[in-house]
Each structure stands twice: as structure tokens, then as C-alpha cells.
Structure 1
């Protein structure tokens, strides 16, 4: 599994810098929780990693390669899996077709759906021929995660994967993310508002405010006082 290092990232929409000097490390197999109030730059950070903002300056290395100059598809092919907010599955495609879309980012050309995806999310096997648009929100989120995993990524980036999802599926998704990290060794970068889950699942946290890192550390250092100061509304 690869490491990722960001150094003094400035990311822009138009002429306005949304991220301002953000730096972080993701070591091999590590779990990093990105936290902060709404509108502070969390989603922009993930989009910057994927090359989805208007402009990004600074340094961003994945393994031994600088990737800021690469396109989004090129970054995916290096092994960065991304599950955006809103899931963005293709509603007219079946579950199988949506998952197979992920395999097109595989550099080895394989088009097989890994068996463990259906062990992790059995409902997807049951609904394999159903259109993605006919699934519930939680099932669509499971499908979006399976699609990203079908590309055999080295790290997985998730933007609030349990937001607005029915409670019985939230636990399944949280358990799957932890299992992918601890059992399969996937590096995880997770934007998450659920403080107890972020604290228990992650190794380290990054706290953003107004596009800057205001606090970073090991997850057991994220005290209730810090949560009250930086995360409560």
C-alpha cells in the first residue's frame, strides 16, 4: 500500500483559495479522519486529491510520484479510490454494471468483480440485476463503495458516507470501512461528522477551519473539549 503526502496545498474555485496551506501525511495502511464544521474545506480537500478543483498548488505525492499534474483518471489508475458525497452512481445501470464501471480504472485490465464485495454487502448480490436508481439511499452508498473497490485501490477516500442513510445500514457501512482498513490494509481518508465513529475507527485526525488545518493529532487526543470548541454548532 502506498503513502500520501500533501504539502502546503492551496486549492481554488475560480480565483478564490478554499484550501490554504493544508499539509498532511497518510502512512501505509493508516486511517485519517478529516473533520470540521460545514463549509470549512473538507470536501474541497478530497476533490483536490482527485484533481477536481479549478486549480491546486503545492505538493501532493502518492508513493514516490508527484501527482498534482495528473488528470483525475490518471490518479485513479494509480490506485486512489474515491466515493463522493451524493454517491453518483448511474441510476439507469444495473448493480452489476455500476460495479463493473469501477474495474475500468484497473491498470491490469481485469474486469472481474471481487467476491468479497458481496460478502461485505450481501444485498448487492441479491439485487445484482436491479437498476441502481431503484435502490434505497443506503444501498446506493454500498454500491458506490463497491464500485470504488472494484478498481482494486491502494487507498480509499470517502466523503461523509453515512450522511442521510437509514440507521440499520450506517452500522454496516462503518463496519465495512473499518474491516477494509484493518483486515485488507487499505489506507483510508474519511470526511466524517460522526465524532464517536471517527475517534474509534481512525488512527489520526485532521481538523479544518476556514480552509486551514487548525489541529492534527492521534485520534485518542481528540478530547471532548476540542470537539466542543471546533465541531459543535
Structure 2
């Protein structure tokens, strides 16, 4: 579904990612792990075309997308939920969700099917401004907005960071539902190692912009966590 080969990504002339390789198959949940500042967010931004440039190969369903502008990548049904959520505070919940639909290639501008069943609180707050929601509610809104695109691939950057504990479990359950029930390929940046072990099909650990470890969930051992993920 999504593959990088010898990927370098730059801010200015400085490479943040250096020779990254990975392959996320259709319908897989692929976790991207590592300490702060090792390039996890940069990898997601590189997939969306939000860094200053890349070298190497980036392919979606066998199509090279490395030279495509960000809107064209969205039209190929890559949804992105950035760290910090990027909710438009003056827009209502409904307006924020429908913003996600503007990336659709088919032109449909409508509420994504089933999203209000996933997040009932959003139905209650449909006409409330996004900036008036709690952090956990904004994260639910950000996921709903991404689903309005009708994504085949969904990039999530630390979706449970700074979220109240009673919402964290709900968001984790939604991520599993989107992947296992709806078949969306998910690339997940996450610090919660037990959660990553439970739900991942594959993972990579980044260290200083390079892939330090790669494997399936059973390879995410305590030794790996201690060496590359402990703070």
C-alpha cells in the first residue's frame, strides 16, 4: 500500500530522515516509534509532502507520489491527523468535519458514514465551535474530519498525547475499529508501547533519523523498548 525506499527528508538543506525504508501493506496497522526528536513526525509530514523536500522513493499502491503536491496526495485518499490536531477554532464541529471532505476526488461534501456512531459527543456538539471543545473532544473531531476524506491510508501523530484518560481508551478502540473493521491502513506514531504491541502488525523504531529496529509486534521486546524508547 505505502512504501519508502532510501528516503531522505529535508528542512532547508539539513536531512532529518536518512535512508529510511519501510513497507506498510494494505489493511495493516504500522507503528512508528522512537524517542522525541528522532524524526517520527517528519516521516508523516514527508508522506504528506509537508517538508522542504525529499530524496529517494515514496510509493502509494505502486504509484510514485514523492513529487506530488500535498492536495494531490490527499486526493489519493491519504488522511492526516497531525500532532496538536489543527482544529479550526472558529469553525463549528460540523464545519470542521466537512473541511476534510474538500480533499475528496469525487467531490462529495458530506458527513462521513458512521462517524457520529463512533463519536456520539460530536453529534451533541455539532453546532459548537471547535475551539470550545476539550482536548479529547478535539482529537475525536480531528479523526472525524480525516474520515470525511474517505481515506484508504490514515496517518495519526500521537493521537492520545495530552488526552484525559477516560478518552484515551475510546480513541484507542476507534483506531482498532478503523483498522480491523473498516480495513483502513494506519500509520501510527505512538509513545504507548503496550498499545503498539497489542494492535500493530509491523513497526519501525527511528533513532537519529534512521531505522534502528523493524519487525512485527512480537519483535517489539522489552529490550528494544529499553534501548530505544525509554526516557
TM range (shorter): over 0.9
Residue of structure 2 equivalent to 1:163 = 161
Q: Distance in 1 between matches of 2:201 and 2:40?
A: 18
Gaps of 5+ in 2: none
Q: Distance in 1 between matches of 2:38 and 2:49?
A: 18
Residue of structure 1 equivalent to 2:69 = 71
**What secondary structure, in the 3-state scheme, does the structure 2 residue paired with 1:190 have?**
strand
**What secondary structure, in the 3-state scheme, does the structure 2 residue paired with 1:199 have?**
helix
- Structure 1 segments of 4 or more deviating over 2 A? none
- Match runs of 1:168-179 below 5 Å: 168-179=166-177
Q: CA deviation at 1:114?
A: 2.1
Residue of structure 2 equivalent to 1:139 = 137
Q: CA deviation at 1:115?
A: 3.4
Q: CA deviation at 1:96?
A: 0.2
Q: Distance in 1 between matches of 2:70 and 2:184?
A: 20
Q: Distance in 1 between matches of 2:112 and 2:143?
A: 13
Residue of structure 2 equivalent to 1:97 = 95
Match of residue 204, structure 2, among 196, 203, 206: 206
Q: Distance in 1 between matches of 2:3 and 2:97?
A: 29
Residue of structure 2 equivalent to 1:53 = 51
Q: Distance in 2 between matches of 1:64 and 1:39?
A: 30
Q: Distance in 1 between matches of 2:113 and 2:131?
A: 23
Q: TM-score, normalised by structure 1?
A: 0.98
Q: Deviations over 1:126-155 (max 9, x none)?
A: 000000000000000100010000110001
- Match runs of 1:97-136 below 5 Å: 97-136=95-134
Match of residue 38, structure 1, among 31, 36, 39: 36
Residue of structure 1 equivalent to 2:186 = 188
Q: CA deviation at 1:220?
A: 1.3
**What secondary structure, in the 3-state scheme, does the structure 1 residue paired with 2:212 have?**
strand
Q: Distance in 1 between matches of 2:50 and 2:109?
A: 26
The alignment covers a number of residue pairs equal to 231
Q: TM-score, normalised by structure 2?
A: 0.99
Q: Distance in 1 between matches of 2:152 and 2:84?
A: 22
Q: Deviations over 1:48-106 (max 9, x none)?
A: 00000011110000012100110001000001000000100100000000000011111
Residue of structure 2 equivalent to 1:20 = 18
**What secondary structure, in the 3-state scheme, does the structure 2 residue paired with 1:99 have?**
helix
Contact in 1 for aligned 2:112/2:144 (Cα 8 Å): no
Gaps of 5+ in 1: none
Residue of structure 1 equivalent to 2:84 = 86
Q: Distance in 1 between matches of 2:142 and 2:41?
A: 17
